[in-house]
Chain A
Amino acid sequence: MTTWVDTLPMTESPARPQQAPVGIPARVRAAQDGDAAAFEAIYRENVGRVHALCLRMTGNPREAEAMTQEAFVRAWQRLGQFRGESALSTWLNHVAVSVVLTSRRATLRRLRRVETTDDLARLDGPDPVRPQPDSRIDLERAIALLPDGARIVFVLFEIEGYTHAEIARELGIAENTSKAQLHRARGLLREVLHD
């Protein structure tokens, strides 16, 4: 079965330069053949990057660990689909994004059943509690404090280099909503970050 991970085009971005076809490294081939030790090496090499992505997308260390774990299990199950058309790290990032978004959709469905609301923006909740104007806050913490929707769009656009069209497709929202969430995220970050 083809998933969005296999069809998503690589996009150019400052954070994620487009990769030339790199072929399949021997270690990946070994893992594709079922070599768990080879996959462990892949895990060790990539876990920091995948965890960083999950942590920034969820804003929650505990959830980030669970998502990272799930991303590697999913990667193992789908490794046969990796054709070497992008770097393995790029492919793993796509798997992790898919895992986080799938989990988020499941959470939204659960909340929808309980809350019965047609305004999903409400599920983002109010803007987070902001630090006092004189306090200093690092960007990482500020991103974690963003409302769910704004944070995911910010991380995907600014850090992972997705386009608004890609974000819109993955989140099931309009491109303009993605742009609005990015604008909201930047505005909130500007307020809490003091140079």
Chain B
Amino acid sequence: MTDRERDSLRERVDRLPREVPPARDLWPDVARAIEASRRRARVYRAVAMASTLAAAAAIALFVGVAGRRTPGHLAVSPSVSTPAPTPVVAAPPPPLPEENAYQGAERLLDAELDERRASLKPAQAAVLDDNLRIVDRAIETTRAEVREHPEDPELRAELDRVWEDKLDLIRQATELYSEM
């Protein structure tokens, strides 16, 4: 390509319009996608907080066990790990059919945990209960979003994840106290 040809091409490129509007208004679709993204962000925040606190609670419970086994160790104070409970203003939405299996597993684990509750210090029981409440709120938040937007597979996957977090927390607490 000669310099003249290149200059000519350059001139034509410079004359191209800076803006070419789309044939239709894309905003409604963009707005819908943004709303879905916001929804997921809300759920992720609730789930992330629940997961973090559940993990912290498991550690706190473990340290509590170690503290009991080795006198002199500092037992975890519930005031460190537990945020103030949020008042419930509305009845939680009923569980979805696909939560049946999780609820069945939860009942079995709860029964096992209840048998061991007597060996928990009141402070440790408080840590566990407060954190279970936080995970429950995350389940309710996610469930409400799934009910409103059943077509969103990411929300359904998130509901599975937060249920698994809850079952893990109960399982860990049960296992720790069955060792005593």
Of all chain B residues, which has the CB nearest A189?
A: B9
B14 touches A76 (CB 8 A): no
User: Which residues of chain A are within 8 angstroms of B30 by Cβ–Cβ distance?
Assistant: 43, 69, 72-73, 76
Whether the pair A52, B23 counts as a contact (CB closer than 8 A) is no
Looking at chain B's contact residues, the main secondary structure is helix
Q: Mark B1-35, 1 if CB is under 8 A from A, else 0.
A: 10001101110111111111111101101110110
What is the interface of chain A mostly: helix, strand, loop, or mixed?
helix
The answer to whether A180 has its CB under 8 Å from any CB of chain B is no
B37 within 8 A of A: yes
Task: Decide: A140 and B19 in contact? CB cutoff 8 A.
Answer: no
Q: Determine if A153 is an interface residue (Cβ-Cβ < 8 Å).
A: no
* A65 CA to B20 CA, complexed, in Å: 11
Q: Which residues of A contact B24 (CB under 8 A)?
A: 65
Given contacts A159-B13, A193-B12, contact A69 B33 (CB under 8 A): yes
Chain B residues whose CB sits within 8 angstroms of the CB of A61 once the complex forms: 23
Task: Indicate which residue in A15, A43, A52, A190 contacts B14 across the interface (CB closer than 8 Å).
Answer: A15
Closest to B12 in A: A139
With A186-B1, A187-B1 as contacts: A73 and B16 at CB distance below 8 Å: no
Complex partner residue of A139 from B13, B20, B31, B33, CB under 8 angstroms: B13
**B27 contacts which chain A residues (CB < 8 A)?**
40, 43-44, 47
Q: A69-B29, A159-B13 in contact; A36/B22 too (CB < 8 A)?
A: no
18 CB < 8 A contacts A-B: A47-B26, A47-B27, A49-B18, A51-B20, A55-B20, A65-B22, A65-B23, A65-B24, A69-B26, A72-B30, A77-B37, A139-B16, A158-B10, A158-B13, A187-B1, A190-B1, A190-B5, A193-B12
Residues in A lying within 8 Å of B, measured CB to CB: 14-15, 36, 39-40, 43-44, 47-49, 51-52, 55, 61, 64-65, 68-69, 72-73, 76-77, 139-140, 158-159, 183, 186-187, 189-190, 193, 195
A-B pairs with lowest CB-CB distance, top 10: A48-B19, A52-B20, A73-B33, A48-B21, A72-B30, A51-B22, A139-B12, A76-B34, A158-B13, A69-B26
